[in-house]
Structure 1
Amino acid sequence: MIQRIQTIYICIAVVLGILSIIFPIAYLLNTGMGLGHTLFNFWLKDNANGIVGFTVIPLFILQVTTIPVGLYSIFKYNNRPFQARLCLLNILLLVLWYTFLGYFVWAMKPNNEQFQPLLAVSFPLIEIILYSIARKAIWKDEKLVRSANRIR
């Protein structure tokens, strides 16, 4: 299981998913005063008075869903087509995560807030790349196994 390179890619993607939940994603700064909001996957914190709002819960749900799906796909190493479909599911969930992030940033524009992304906003993009590479390696293994079966 761990000898396969796609398992390492999926493990790194799961770790990045966990880090994406922990670290702040972006600052939404008021252009006039400098105070604004800090955007996490689970909440939106007002920097002026410390009030926490849970309007960004879909980001959290999508990111948290990718973690067990990624872990489950690691342990489905003997069913490669299903493992590749799980990687594709994670890719789609992460693309949906970016769609929701774009919506929440667009929804904050009427408040005259400027979006300042942080490092953690790139973690889902790196996850998408890792799941894509893992999916390609899974299909490569599947082709190798099928060709070995033909030789027998």
Structure 2
Amino acid sequence: MIQRIQSIWLFLAAITLALMLFLPIATKVGSGTEVAIYTTGLRETFIGKSGNGFKVAFYLPLLITNIAVAFICLMNIFNYKRRSFQKRIAIVSIILIAGFAFWCSVYAKKLPGGIEGANFGVGAYLPALAILFVFLAIFGINKDERLIRSAERLR
């Protein structure tokens, strides 16, 4: 059923991954500038100004990966009729999210001066939250399968 709890968990995972587009992964303050890394790229803001920021680098592969993983989680909601396939796609999306988180950490090391002294933003913790949501969706799928099996035994 599309109204089941796993649909909510998969939707929350997709929203969490979409939020990574707007929230910084890591920020570093130094020499009158604040440099923040997003999944869209490296953004530099001058301290003391009115917050005028400009992109230093644009990370297109990371952006495409972020959108693709969020889209996979969102489209997996509509596989409700094929629960085993939905579970397999959820497991694949966990692996993809873990790889995406590792890739974000590799890009975070590209901060000027390295990652030492950097403050991790909310975006650094969102992949772990998305993995948690997908795990909860898998538990919901398993619960549905047990319910279907018990209903078939009663027939």
Structure 2: which 5+ runs fail to align? 47-52
Would you say the 8 A contact 2:13–2:133 is kept in 1?
Answer: yes
1:3 and 2:6 correspond: no
CA shift in 2, pair 1:39/1:112, >3 Å: closer
Quote the sequence identity (%): 29
Correspondence for 2:25: 25
CA shift, 1:112, in A, is: 7.0
- CA RMSD of superposed structures (Å): 2.3
What secondary structure does 1:21 align onto? coil
Most deviating of 77-86 and 113-122 = 113-122
Q: Aligned ranges for residues 1-152 of structure 1 at < 5 Å? A: 1-30=1-30, 33=31, 35-48=33-46, 50-54=54-58, 56-108=59-111, 111=114, 114-152=117-155
Q: C-alpha distance in 1, partners of 2:34/2:116?
A: 7
What secondary structure does 2:80 align onto? coil
What secondary structure does 2:117 align onto? strand
Q: C-alpha distance in 1, partners of 2:115/2:144?
A: 51
Would you say the 8 A contact 1:29–1:113 is kept in 2?
Answer: no
Q: C-alpha distance in 2, partners of 1:111/1:4?
A: 45
Would you say the 8 A contact 1:42–1:60 is kept in 2?
Answer: yes
Structure 1: which 5+ runs fail to align? none
Give the TM-score normalised by the residue count of structure 2: 0.82
Give the TM-score normalised by the residue count of structure 1: 0.83
Which structure has more helix as a fraction of its residues?
Answer: 1
Count of aligned positions: 149
- Structure 1 runs (4+) deviating above 4 angstroms are 109-113
Correspondence for 2:49: none
What secondary structure does 1:135 align onto? helix
